[in-house]
C-alpha cells in the first residue's frame, strides 16, 4: 500500500470514529467552561499566595 492510499485510509477511519462521538450540548459546555475558569482562578490565587509567602520567608533568610 502506498503513502497516498494509507493517508486516505487514515482520514476515512478518523471520520468514521468522529461519527461515533457523542458531543456535549450547549448547557454542558457552558457549565464545564465556567467550572474550569473558576478552578483556574482559585489555583492562580493559591499559587500567588504560596509564592508571596515563600518569597518573604526566603527574603528573611537571606
Provide the residue ranges of all domains of the chain, joining segments of one domain with +. 24-62
> How confident is the model over 19-54, as pLDDT tens digits?
999 999 999 999 999 999 999 999 999 999 999 999
Joined grid coordinates for residue 7: 493517508
- The predicted pLDDT at position 46 comes to 98
- The predicted pLDDT at position 11 comes to 96
Q: Are 24 and 32 in contact (CB under 8 A)?
A: yes
Residue 24: CB partners within 8 Å, gap ≥ 6? 32
Residue 49: CB partners within 8 Å, gap ≥ 6? none
- Alpha-carbon distance 22 to 30, whole Å? 16
pLDDT band at 62 (very low <50, low <70, confident <90, very high): confident
Amino acid at each position: 500500500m502506498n503513502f497516498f492510499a494509507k493517508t486516505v485510509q487514515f482520514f476515512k477511519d478518523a471520520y468514521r470514529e468522529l461519527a461515533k462521538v457523542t458531543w456535549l450540548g450547549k448547557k454542558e459546555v457552558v457549565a464545564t467552561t465556567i467550572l474550569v475558569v473558576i478552578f483556574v482562578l482559585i489555583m492562580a490565587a493559591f499559587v500567588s499566595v504560596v509564592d508571596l509567602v515563600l518569597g518573604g520567608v526566603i527574603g528573611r533568610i537571606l
